[in-house]
Amino acid sequence: MLQTPYYLIDRAALLRNMEVIDRLQALSGAKALLALKCFATWPVFDTMRQHMAGTTSSSLFELRLGREKFGGETHAYSVAWAAHEIAEAVSYADKIIFNSISQLERFGAAAAGIACGLRLNPRFSTSGFDLADPARPFSRLGEWDPAKIMDVIDRISGFMIHYNCENADFALFDDQLTRIEAEFGALLERVAWVSLGGGIHFTGKDYPVEALAARLKAFAERFDVQVYLEPGEAAITNTATLEVTVLDVLENEKRLAIVDSSIEAHMLDLLIYRQPAKLAPNAGPHNFMICGKSCLAGDIFGEFRFAEPLQVGDRLSILDAAGYTMVKKNWFNGVKMPAIAIRELDGSVTLARDFGYEDYRASLG
């Protein structure tokens, strides 16, 4: 048995999501690109590349990883490219998407050999968190003025429009896409491809995949464009756990269990968005607050119920631990990073990567 903590990625669960992506692509004609900002654990790319058209990135390093480890179409995006990055970025990319007209004007000539696109901000979104809302007031994420965009339309061949965030409501997606068609139709008619970004939770339970496919196909046919989607969470939701061990049990008006992991270091989104972790079955008469081992007072996974009182040495599985975890893990407090393991299709578990003191030391000098 592997020493905790470690992320455990389940290939069978990953394949279930890939099968939904296959169905959506086949019915709609859209192409799905893995959003590396959410999940970039390349030891399982061999499973994913058989079902997805390529990758989309948010930085030069993500872009290079997508080209080297995933293949297929490689889309390059950055909120702002630096002058020393652009030549290397173009060498890896099939398409490069500029965040602003000024970046297009500055670097468009350097990218003349590949397809160039522009990020379009519709100034509305589905995000419930201001922190993650691409259309928040004063947003720097994309251009929104149709007149200004029309002035440079001959320099681009496509748009990227990212405005969904864990949107499981197809009716809302439909309404907002209709609004995009009405407000930006004249622009969409002038390009060859449109990425509708990520954040559509189409691998969630009971999501109407066929309705989404029909809507995407209608959009593509209306504007004669190749549609792209950029699933992150949708590609890897419910495919991994964070395996931890109880190190200590104590009481301070509540029963507390300290585990050998940390939300600050290993599941940072829980801290950022003030959300509890997920455990199952989470039922029983014994309530415990599960706490991380860092010195941060708020390093808390959440409160959960158990059939029996927790004891030192008990193993727990934190659910849905693939997205925005391995790409955000850090060395806060010098807490050991979780290893990365894979449950293979035959049920065996292989260790893909472990992290030790040498990795910690090398990250600091």
- What pLDDT shows up at residue 129? 87
Instruction: Check whether 208 has a pLDDT greater than 90.
Output: yes
Of 130-139, 182-191, 256-265, least confident by mean pLDDT is 130-139
* Cβ partners under 8 Å of residue 227, min gap 6: 28, 29, 30, 31, 193, 194, 195, 196, 216, 219, 220
Q: Indicate the DSSP class of residue 336.
A: P
Q: Write phi, then psi, for 341 (nearest 5 degrees).
A: -125, 160
- What pLDDT shows up at residue 140? 96
**Do 109 and 164 touch, CB atoms closer than 8 A?**
no
**Do 85 and 127 touch, CB atoms closer than 8 A?**
no
**Do 100 and 125 touch, CB atoms closer than 8 A?**
no
Residue 24 CA: distances (Å) to CA of 18, 19, 68: 10, 9, 26
- What pLDDT shows up at residue 128? 83
**Do 280 and 41 touch, CB atoms closer than 8 A?**
no
Instruction: Check whether 213 has a pLDDT greater than 90.
Output: yes
**Whole-angstrom Cα distance, residue 88 to residue 83?**
10
Secondary structure (DSSP) of 105-120: HHHTTTTTTSEEEEEB
Q: How confident is the model at residue 1 (pLDDT cuts 50, 70, 90)?
A: confident
Instruction: Check whether 90 has a pLDDT greater than 90.
Output: yes
Q: Write phi, then psi, for 256 (nearest 5 degrees).
A: -120, 140
- What pLDDT shows up at residue 170? 97
What is the pLDDT averaged over residues 76-80? 98
